[in-house]
Amino acid sequence: MRVTWTPSRHPDDYPFVHRLRVRFAETDAMGVVHHAAYLPYLEEARVEYLRSLGHPYAELREEGIEFAVVEAAVSYLRPLSFDDEVDVHLVLAGATPATFQIGYLLTTGAEPRATAVTVHAALTRSGRPTRLPRWLTSLSPPPAAGHP
Amino acid sequence: MRVTWTPSRHPDDYPFVHRLRVRFAETDAMGVVHHAAYLPYLEEARVEYLRSLGHPYAELREEGIEFAVVEAAVSYLRPLSFDDEVDVHLVLAGATPATFQIGYLLTTGAEPRATAVTVHAALTRSGRPTRLPRWLTSLSPPPAAGHP
Amino acid sequence: MRVTWTPSRHPDDYPFVHRLRVRFAETDAMGVVHHAAYLPYLEEARVEYLRSLGHPYAELREEGIEFAVVEAAVSYLRPLSFDDEVDVHLVLAGATPATFQIGYLLTTGAEPRATAVTVHAALTRSGRPTRLPRWLTSLSPPPAAGHP
Amino acid sequence: MRVTWTPSRHPDDYPFVHRLRVRFAETDAMGVVHHAAYLPYLEEARVEYLRSLGHPYAELREEGIEFAVVEAAVSYLRPLSFDDEVDVHLVLAGATPATFQIGYLLTTGAEPRATAVTVHAALTRSGRPTRLPRWLTSLSPPPAAGHP
């Protein structure tokens, strides 16, 4: 696995936060949010983070760049329920010329609910690996510095 | 609405059947299958039906034809639960040069669980309407003859 | 089908509106939003509508009432794309003692993208039909008056 | 993270396999299967694995035991496409009295497409941790012996 970063459980360690609300469709017969539904939460937060940087993902795609997910890891701490307001805290946790990783902390109120890491590669529209955009690698701390 | 056909609750009225099993991910906090999860069931059955006709949907797409859903209506009779084996009965219920409709009956054992109708249009890869393939219109009963 | 109401394409005919944004996870290989993803959009708008009436759905569920979907019909007018901001316009379109129907218009900017109707029944926690809450039936126009 | 096992890319290292087919609804606008859709694939394979052991998950749930996902990690090697037939190879990769982990390899033909690990805890119906069933811990290799 290329995940090299361990997500913190402290919101202060994350420079960006996106709030969303749990849909009923995302719950399962255990009465809580299904574990697969967390990945679209991370994605939604990622998209808002890119927008906040002035690089909306829809524009990147029009320019011919896709950010494929090459790895995803989620640690489920306490279940989420229907109608919960969830804060997805996000940090760019390292980049190489070809991949970057993002760390996440999900909280409701002050309570940690889940942590996650996703690793992404830049692809051309035809699916070939390509270099990450300059603005992204320049933003990112070196991956080695990622970790306590 | 262009749906002109009322689905029967008798499996014998359907020439094709596809069996699938309910995933846990498809349930919701009511303990039953979420209503949105039925549409992928219909789609899965449609794909198997096209395969059974010798026209796999993946091949149609490679030839540049998409079947967009222009309408969908589902009537939920009795809830489905995790691990249920569901028979999706299917009938081509009418076609015009530009659209066709498909009727569905979902059963578990002999018990009706839902009925549905979807209406489809043929599109080119760039999203423009195009004529339905000949083999499809020739297969289909005229829409007027659909059902009392 | 019990749907007795035809949804208008004019936002002014809808007293409530909820805005959401298309997730990448909701798109499909045609490059647009998958038709099944519309149902959770309607549900999200319904939940916000109930909240705006002072009756959050999460509270109704705690009191032991579920609103099961007994019918859903969607008419797809023009596809939605990733990152679109979608306004889901909503109207309570009729109620009987046991069921109510809701009409929807989805727009981006001023452009209609889809219309829909869902029909709901009130259930107890154990899945038995029960009467709709008074506040709901008193709010609702009689179904016959729904719409031409 | 509690994942202690690294999944092999050799089908022979997995004693169980479940085949499924990619639904169109599971693809996204990149033209391939969305990364969140893999988790329900793993779950479907897990459910079939438990059935093959004579312990269908639906029965376990009726007896009051849930297997909550406490961690999930997926490594995406090569994208899956609509209509692909996917073999989900599965191995019980270790257990403690309270949790067990399962390793997965997804292949199409002989080609590896993804690997994954999920970690599970046994919960009572009210969500409290409970001991794993005896048949499960006795089946499982000790976690230390999992894999180099």
Predicted ipTM of the assembly: 0.93
Confidence of residue B4 (pLDDT cuts 50, 70, 90): confident
Q: Sort strands B16-21 and C85-95 into parallel, antiparallel or unpaired.
A: unpaired
**Residue B5: closest C-alpha in chain C:** C1
Average confidence score pLDDT of chain A:
91
- Backbone phi, then psi, for C20, in 5-degree steps? -140, 170
pTM comes to 0.94
Please check whether residue B118 is in contact with residue B100, taking contact to mean a CB–CB distance below 8 angstroms.
no
The tokens describing B95, both together, are: 């076609």
Q: List the Cα angle C76/C82/C84 in 5-degree steps.
A: 75
Nearby residues of D106 by Cβ (< 8 Å), 6 or more positions away: D38, D41, D80, D86, D87, D88, D89, D112, D113, D114, D115, D116
Those of residues 56-95 in D touching chain B at CB distance below 8 A are 56-58, 61, 82-83
Please give the full DSSP string across B60-128, using - where no structure is assigned. HHHTTEEEEEEEEEEEE-S---TT-EEEEEEEEEEE-SSEEEEEEEEEETTEEEEEEEEEEEEEETTS-
What are the helix (H) ranges across chain A? 38-52, 57-62, 134-139
Identify from C83, C85, C125 which residue to disrupt to test chain A contact, counting A C-beta atoms within 10 A and taking the largest count: C83
Please report the pLDDT score of residue B59 as a whole number: 93
In eight-state DSSP terms, residue C36 is G
Residue in D closest to C31 by C-alpha: D29
| Residue whose C-alpha is closest to residue C23's, from B96, D28, A49 | D28
Give the N- to C-terminal CA distance of chain B in Å, as an integer: 18
Tokens of A99: 């991949």
Summarize pLDDT for C99-123 with one digit per residue, the tens: 999 999 999 998 999 999 999 999 9
Q: What is the pLDDT of residues A25-45, one digit of tens each?
A: 999 999 999 999 999 999 999
How far is B70 from chain C, CA to nearest CA, in Å?
A: 5
The strand pairing partners of C125, in sequence order, are none
List average pLDDT for each run of 10 residues in chain D, which is 148 residues long: 82 97 97 98 98 95 94 97 98 90 96 97 91 87 48
User: What residue type is assigned to position D143 of the chain?
Assistant: P
Answer whether C101's CB lies under 8 Å from C70's CB: no
Q: Do A32 and B29 touch (CB under 8 A)?
A: yes
Where are any strands of DSSP class E within C36-110? 65-76, 85-95, 99-108
Please, what are the domains in chain D?
11-142 (3.10.129.10)
pLDDT digits (tens, 9 = 90+) for D78-118: 999 999 999 999 999 988 888 999 999 999 998 999 999 99
Q: Catalytic residue positions of C?
A: 28
Q: Measure the CA–CA gap between C119 and C137, rounded to whole angstroms.
A: 14
Mean pLDDT split into 10-residue runs, chain A, 148 residues: 82 97 97 98 98 95 94 97 98 91 96 97 91 87 47
What pLDDT was estimated at residue D125?
A: 86
Are C29 and D28 an interchain contact pair (Cβ–Cβ within 8 Å)? yes
